[in-house]
Chains A and B, each alone.
Chain A
Amino acid sequence: MTSGGLRREPPASRMPAWVGKAVPWILLVAVTLAALASGKYSVSIHDIVLVLAAKLSGSASGLPQNVETVIWNVRLPRVACGLLVGASLAVAGAVYQGLFRNPLVSPDILGVSAGSSLGAVLGIFLSLPVLAIQSMAFAGGLASVALVYAIGAAVRRHDPVLVLVLAGIAVGALLGACISLVKVLADPYNQLPAITFWLLGSLASVTQGDFLSVLPAMIIGLVPIVLLRWRLNLMTLDDQEARALGIETTRMRLVLIASATLMTAAAVSISGIIGWIGLLVPHVARAFAGPNFSRLLPVALLLGGGYLVCVDTLARSIAPVEVPLGILTAAIGAPFFIWLLTTTRQGWQ
């Protein structure tokens, strides 16, 4: 309050505006092309562009059939699913972190992962077909969050956000116990490895059909979040403060939780549990774009998609066998997170 003049000094650790806008796009395109090009059967960037252009315009690419097959039928579904899953987890993570006013929250906070896991693990245990396992994972995720929300709505004496978190922890623990029980009962040679692999996440078996079946759910979840992106800023305030500013917080929270949960459950249903993306990517996005959701959400979406495609490409190329994604995201994410903790001044206070 000493000088009355207008000083517009940008916060020290924030990048110039154009960097924040351009870098995520550049990273995304570069990572996507690299992912399509790399693998046992190597193809050039030029071939990729030719095939994509030919498929989209309906003309012939003039390339050998097996090149087209590798790019269009094998790698593209996997890369596209990686983009969808990564983007969904990152956006849902950013929304949850805002809603729960805590930068250490991930999309698992309300039990969506635990519910999805139980659904999928039961499906594997009952030897159901893949589509049924995916459906059970999707339904399990939604059901567990609905249960947590119902408990939160029934308890009215405390801060609504705190009650939700605590209910989420309790329900998550209960579901975890059920998952452990199924693992104990499962056939140790056939079902248990499948369960373990699912719980660590993988995109190895995704198909074009998977892409098309989860896309609608993710879009339905994303639309309300994008529309309400500015109001999300107010949801990071204390509940009563936000209401005093004119926000119907209960309704808003329900819509946003439902949307973020839909996106997460859809992602988990095809990929299994991939930890760390929903926690880490929003942090990195915030370092680029600041905490304002109008700028944060697009950056989180692009970085999340790009990051998962990058990790998935590593998962299928660094070893003779597929490395589960959950192992890689944790192995990369945890050290990076610690580095972020020690260097960021502006990430959160």
Chain B
Amino acid sequence: MTLSAVDLSFGYRGTPLGRGLTLTVEPGEVLCLLGPNGCGKTTLFKTLLGLIPSLGGRLELDGRAVSSFSRAEFARRVGYVPQASAGYFPFEVRDVVLMGRASRIGIFAAPSRADQAIAMGALETLGIAHLAARSFSAISGGERQLALVARALAQEPGMLVMDEPTASLDFGNQARVLERIGTLAASGLTIVLSTHDPGHAFACADRVALMKSGAIVATGAPETVLTAQALGSLYGVDVAVSWLEQARHHIAVPVLRTSRARQAPSG
């Protein structure tokens, strides 16, 4: 499944956020988008998903204009995991996941046993089958994020678009979500995600795209693009990038000017 944007202008009518953006998501890859707050990542995602109309340029999914898809046609191909779901009513987790089947069943139909099995399968894939009967609003933030991923999986899409799937999660849940992303990518799903932690891009992405003020400033393999210099100019802080042998990937940390000087541990 290929999603390509050529010379794309996006934003809201009257206030464009980006112009001339070109980006291609290749089949089977994990593409990670990095950029400072307010650079337009969420708006770009919503434009790529056809949720807000593009202001110009070409936007195609497998060679067909995104705007020509019906919502159901698009939802069968691309699943979207929003940053959070408000959950105004206390639906059970399995009901939330079942909502992912909407694009696969008739307009007047309710989900069948087969749909319920698919929803349970999605929950099991993410290791949260035991939450099926719990209220969506009563589970933890990390569990909720996984339930939203399960809902997107229940769409049986070829591509997942995840808007900051690790935002507002604690340290352990971030790792668990990243692990699941790795598992899903290994199963052949194309994944586009955004994150604020370059370390997460190192850990799970095949390719990264750096975004600044509505434009893509660099794309490529994480190791070549996510240099200390590139990250430093992207975020406006000093950054140290280093290989961490125990984790088997690079990590990036900010170098604080106020950092209390410490001795390197001996031995």
The answer to whether residues A6 and B108 also contact, given A11-B92, A231-B102, A248-B71 and a CB cut-off of 8 A, is no
Q: Which of A123-131, A171-179, A233-241 lies on the face that meets chain B?
A: A233-241
Q: B31-76: which have CB < 8 Å to A?
A: 46, 49, 51-52, 70-72, 74-76
Nearest CB of chain A from residue B44's CB, rounded to whole Å: 14
Residues of chain A within 8 A (CB-CB) of B102 are: 231, 234, 245-247
Indicate which residue in A5, A9, A11, A98 contacts B89 across the interface (CB closer than 8 Å).
Answer: A98
A240 and B46 form a contact (CB under 8 A): yes
Residues of chain B within 8 A (CB-CB) of A294 are: 110
Indicate which residue in B76, B92, B109, B110 contacts A246 across the interface (CB closer than 8 Å).
Answer: B76
CA distance A230 to B104 in the complex (A): 13
Nearest CB of chain A from residue B114's CB, rounded to whole Å: 15
The answer to whether residues A348 and B133 also contact, given A1-B176, A240-B51, A248-B71 and a CB cut-off of 8 A, is no
Indicate which residue in A3, A228, A229 contacts B130 across the interface (CB closer than 8 Å).
Answer: A3
Q: Is B80 close to A, CB under 8 A?
A: yes
A228 and B108 form a contact (CB under 8 A): yes
Q: Is B27 close to A, CB under 8 A?
A: no
Smallest CB gap from B173: residue in A:
A1
Smallest CB gap from B130: residue in A:
A7
Nearest CB of chain B from residue A300's CB, rounded to whole Å: 13
**Binary CB contact string for chain B from 169 to 181 against chain A (1 if under 8 A, 0 otherwise):** 0000100100000
B51 and A244 form a contact (CB under 8 A): yes
Residues of chain A within 8 A (CB-CB) of B92 are: 11, 290, 292
Q: Is B82 close to A, CB under 8 A?
A: yes
**Interface-central residue, B88, B100, B128, B138, by most chain A CB under 10 Å:** B88
The answer to whether residues A8 and B89 also contact, given A233-B95, A246-B74 and a CB cut-off of 8 A, is no
Interface size (B, Cβ < 8 Å)?
50
Nearest CB of chain A from residue B122's CB, rounded to whole Å: 13
CA distance A156 to B86 in the complex (A): 22
The answer to whether residues A4 and B129 also contact, given A244-B51, A244-B80 and a CB cut-off of 8 A, is yes
Q: Is A333 close to B, CB under 8 A?
A: no
Q: Is A10 close to B, CB under 8 A?
A: yes
Residues of chain A within 8 A (CB-CB) of B110 are: 229-230, 294
Residues of chain A within 8 A (CB-CB) of B176 are: 1
A245 and B135 form a contact (CB under 8 A): no
Q: B193-226: which have CB < 8 Å to A?
A: none
Q: Is B127 close to A, CB under 8 A?
A: yes
Interface size (A, Cβ < 8 Å)?
43
**Binary CB contact string for chain A from 216 to 232 against chain B (1 if under 8 A, 0 otherwise):** 00000000000111110
Smallest CB gap from B176: residue in A:
A1
Nearest CB of chain B from residue A235's CB, rounded to whole Å: 10
A6 and B129 form a contact (CB under 8 A): yes
Nearest CB of chain A from residue B89's CB, rounded to whole Å: 4
Residues of chain A within 8 A (CB-CB) of B130 are: 3-7
Q: Secondary structure of the A side of the interface?
A: loop
Nearest CB of chain B from residue A293's CB, rounded to whole Å: 10
Nearest CB of chain B from residue A174's CB, rounded to whole Å: 29
Residues of chain B within 8 A (CB-CB) of A8 are: 132-133
Q: B1-44: which have CB < 8 Å to A?
A: 12-13
Smallest CB gap from B142: residue in A:
A1
B13 and A292 form a contact (CB under 8 A): no
A246 and B89 form a contact (CB under 8 A): no
Residues of chain B within 8 A (CB-CB) of A11 are: 90, 92, 133-135, 138
Residues of chain A within 8 A (CB-CB) of B227 are: none
A246 and B142 form a contact (CB under 8 A): no
Q: B104-147: which have CB < 8 Å to A?
A: 107-111, 127-130, 132-135, 137-138, 142-143, 146
Indicate which residue in A9, A101, A237, A243 contacts B71 across the interface (CB closer than 8 Å).
Answer: A243
Nearest CB of chain B from residue A99's CB, rounded to whole Å: 11
Nearest CB of chain A from residue B229's CB, rounded to whole Å: 36
Residues of chain B within 8 A (CB-CB) of A233 are: 91, 95, 99
A348 and B108 form a contact (CB under 8 A): no
**Binary CB contact string for chain A from 1 to 45 against chain B (1 if under 8 A, 0 otherwise):** 101111111110000000000000000000000000000000000
Using a CB–CB cutoff of 8 Å, the interface residues on chain B facing chain A are: 12-13, 46, 49, 51-52, 70-72, 74-76, 79-80, 82, 85-92, 95, 99-100, 102-103, 107-111, 127-130, 132-135, 137-138, 142-143, 146, 151, 155, 173, 176
Closest 6 CB pairs of A and B: A246-B103, A246-B75, A291-B89, A244-B80, A246-B72, A230-B110
Using a CB–CB cutoff of 8 Å, the interface residues on chain A facing chain B are: 1, 3-11, 98, 101-103, 156-157, 227-231, 233-234, 236-238, 240-241, 243-248, 286, 290-292, 294, 346-349
